[in-house]
Structure 1
Amino acid sequence: MHIVQVVNDSNEVVAAIVNGDELELLAQPLYTIALHAANQERKLDAVLSEFRTDATLSYDKAISDGRLRAPITHPEPANLLLTGTGLTHLGSAAPRSQMHEGENVEAKTAQPTDTQRMFDLGVAGGKPAADEVGAQPEWFYKGTGHTLRAPFAEITMPDFALDGGEEAELAGIYIVNDQGRIFRVGYSLANEFSDHVTEKQNYLYLAHSKLRDCSIGPEIFVGELPEEIKGNVSLHRGGEQLWHRPFMSGEKHMCHSVSNLEYHHFKYATFCQPNQLHVHFFGAAVLSFGDDIALEDGDEMRIECDITTRPLSNVLKRVSASKPVIESL
């Protein structure tokens, strides 16, 4: 099952079930429906009948009219936490390790980078037995719901950024019920947009490089994640394809299990607070930055995969960032 969010004719954001080219609109946003299910300890698909309406909308029209929103949002955006992990996919270490080696030839040959060592830890222990704790993955904070952009909307790049590049990946979507129990809503295609030039300056700048806009959707896939997911990511400039790469995801292509990534995020009590919403990015395997592509204002980033029915598309927009003014109280 695939769920999106749209603006209905009453100018309200509501969830909708994807039925081919048609969207079957529900009466409430997905957050409200998912929290209702989580508090009653019922499956999401079991409660949807309580929120059905007779309203429908063409999927294509929802896109063309700009009525699509992120597939899940929080009524208080600061309580939607964007976080992620990296070096989770087989083959993902090479471009990151090369990025962090720098220009010192002697250093390149002396020993593996911290990036490579972190990746090796995941290969050795990222898929533990059910009763064991696996290797701890890389983890980062990306922001809150204030920087989550809708599908087919602009992703902004502040003028202090040195770069802006797509990261095509999957994300897990989680809600914490009133009693602090964690429930997985589903999975979504994601563009975990980052500043790779800043990261390349020094890997300790990774935290800075992640504090950028991002986008998920257009759909949340509700169900068990397939072992293998096949996708494509492409960049388009002036209506022409600039760059393209296939990508693979799912545990078949990962050195960490999804359950291990989930454990090492939710083991922290601060992420188990009632009514929180979490979008946790699972890591990218391919980057256009690794092929020396520099995105420009107006470029389109397009990501698609076989567990969604429509692509995730966003256009890069460079914006001026005002200098913060700090005042004493």
Structure 2
Amino acid sequence: MLLSQVRKGGVAVRDAATDAARLVAGATILDFAREAVEKGRPLASVVPPGGETVDVAELAAKGALDVPLRHPEPARMFLTGTGLTHTGSASTRDAMHAPAEGLSDSMKMFRMGLEGGRPADGEVGVQPEWFYKGTGVNAVAPGEPLTSPAFALDGGEEPEIAGYYLIGPDGTPFRVGFSLANEFSDHVTERINYLFLAHSKLRPAAFGPELLVGDLPADIRGTSRILRGGEVLWEKPFLSGGANMSHTIANLEHHHFKYALFRQPGDLHVHMFGTATLSFADGIRPQAGDVFEISAPDFGAALANPLAVAAPEAGAVKVRAL
């Protein structure tokens, strides 16, 4: 089952087997998730039947869809992720930060994942790299611009899979589903010094258009491309899913939710699992107006967002004393 959040109210429900979609009016995916948690039932079982037929791809093209889940209080929606979980990402990062001799810290961490990131069920593996993207304020809907701040040195795509989690009344994290994500970052700033990684990640990220309910496929094969003036500037396949990662999803989830801070009842978390493909690695410098497009058959409609650049602010930010 694939679910999409319609901006004007309602959830588009697509049957993955038949590809037919219908609209459940006056509902949100977050409503369904809360009901499923409350009743102790699977998410799919609380989605009501019926509804008029809709075309999800057409809704996405019109900008009629929001991110799959959005908390009504943006400060209670956390955007986070893990890096160095895919071989392509590790190679790119190693090239950015490799020392004159020996392994870079990036490659050391990636090797730690290869050796200890796939523990047996119920056991704890090595912890991954972790980063913070911001709150729900930074969650960008399909079709909306990914805006790079004026001070940024770069604004590049990162095609990823994101998991959505609602924290239950007793602090239990409940996984709602998965979607495509563009974990937009400033790779030039990161390349200056690895310690600038945290700065490079404080950018918006795009999610959707459709939420995959159920287990994540082990072998996900997608395409990431950049369009300029309607023409393909750059295109490359990407791999994801457990078969193509150095960590299991369960291990990545454990090392995020092991912190009690992230198990506060009612909060919503969107956690990205890392990338394998970057246009930055091929020397591409996106420009304002370029369109990032990420697609994978398992996730229905493509996620497309134009790049925008914010106007510069005058001088330093002023802080007033009270």
| TM-score, L = length of structure 2 | 0.94
Q: 1:191 aligns with which of 171, 182, 185?
A: 182
Residue 24 of structure 2 corresponds to 25
Give the fraction of aligned pairs with identical amino acids, expressed as a percent: 47
Alignment-derived partner of residue 202 in structure 2? 211
Counterpart Cα distance in 2 of 1:32 and 1:140: 28
CA distance in 2, matches of 1:99, 1:61: 40
In the alignment, what sits opposite 1:90? Answer: 87
Amino acid in structure 2 at the alignment position of 1:325? K
Counterpart of 1:294 in structure 2 is: 285
Q: State the Cα distance separating 1:26 from its structure 2 match.
A: 3.8
Distance 1:31 1:183, change over 3 A: same
Counterpart CA distance in 2 for 1:253 and 1:22 is 30
> 2:165 matched to 1:174?
yes
SS of equivalent residue, structure 2 residue 10: strand
Aligned residues: 317
Distance 2:63 2:218 in 1: 33
Q: Which residue of 1 aligns with 2:124?
A: 133
CA RMSD of aligned residues (A): 1.5
8 Å CA contact retained: 1:17, 1:26: no
Question: Is residue 6 of structure 2 the alignment partner of residue 2 of structure 1?
Answer: no
Q: Report the 3-state secondary structure (helix = DSSP H, G, I; strand = E; otherwise coil) of the residue aligned with 2:128.
A: coil
Structure-2 change in CA distance of 1:240 and 1:265 (3 Å): same
| Cα distance in 1 between the residues matched to 2:64 and 2:89 | 35
Partner in structure 1 of residue 217 of structure 2: 226
Q: Is 1:281 the counterpart of 2:278 in the alignment?
A: no
CA distance in 1 between counterparts of 2:286 and 2:227 reads 9
Kindly indicate whether the alpha-carbon contact (under 8 Å) linking 2:60 and 2:301 is maintained by their aligned counterparts in 1: no
**Cα-to-partner distance string for 1:199-254 (whole Å, 9 max, x where unaligned):** 00000000000000110110010011111011000011011100111011111110
Are 1:14 and 2:10 an aligned pair? Answer: yes
Residue 85 of structure 1, CA deviation: 0.3
Shift of 1:321: 4.7
Structure 2 residue aligned with 1:46: 45
Give the direction of change, closer, same or farther, for the CA distance of 1:100–1:123 in structure 2 (3 Å limit). same
Corresponding residue number in structure 1 for 2:317? 324
Deviation at 1:55?
A: 4.4
Task: State whether structure 2 residue 53 is matched by structure 1 residue 62.
Answer: no
1:15: Cα distance to partner?
A: 2.3
8 Å CA contact retained: 1:126, 1:135: yes
Provide the C-alpha distance between the structure 1 equivalents of 2:253 and 2:61, rounded to a whole number of angstroms.
Answer: 36
Equivalent residues of 2:22, 2:50 under 8 A apart: no
Distance 1:59 1:98 in 2: 40
Tell me if structure 1 keeps the 8 A contact 2:165–2:173.
Answer: yes
Distance 2:12 2:25 in 1: 5
- Structure 2 CA distance for partners of 1:55 and 1:217, relative to 1, 3 Å: same
Partner residue in 2 for 1:242: 233
CA deviations on 1:50-82 (whole Å, 9 max, x unpaired) are xx5634443344234321111111100111100
**Residue 77 of structure 2 corresponds to residue 80 of structure 1:** yes
Q: Matched residue of 1:262: which SS?
A: helix
Q: Distance in 2 between matches of 1:267 and 1:160?
A: 34
> 1: CA distance between counterparts of 2:141 and 2:61?
13
Distance 1:156 1:91, change over 3 A: closer
Shift of 1:94: 1.0
Partner SS for 1:37: helix
1:84, 1:64 → 2: CA distance? 27
In 2, Cα distance between the equivalents of 1:22 and 1:264? 36
Deviation sequence 1:272-317 (CA, Å, 0-9, x none): 0001111100000110000000000000100001211211100001
Consecutive unaligned residues in structure 2, runs of 5 or more: none
Q: Distance in 1 between matches of 2:164 and 2:174?
A: 9
Q: For the Cα contact (< 8 Å) 1:15–1:71, is it kept in 2?
A: no
Residues 26 and 181 (structure 1 numbering): CA distance in 2 closer, same or farther, change over 3 Å?
A: farther
Instruction: Classify the secondary structure of the residue corresponding to 2:126.
Output: coil
Aligned equivalents of 2:250, 2:268: Cα separation in 1:
18
Number of the residue aligned with 2:254: 263
Report the Cα offset of residue 21 of structure 1: 5.8
Structure 2 letter corresponding to 1:33: F
Higher relative strand content: 1
Are 2:56 and 2:301, in contact at CA under 8 Å, matched by a contact in 1?
no
Residue 136 of structure 2 aligns to which amino acid in structure 1? G
Give the 3 Å change call, closer, same or farther, for CA 56–77 of structure 1 in structure 2: farther
Report the Cα distance in structure 2 between the residues aligned to 1:321 and 1:78, rounded to whole angstroms.
25
Deviations 1:118-138 (A, max 9, x none): 001000000011232101100
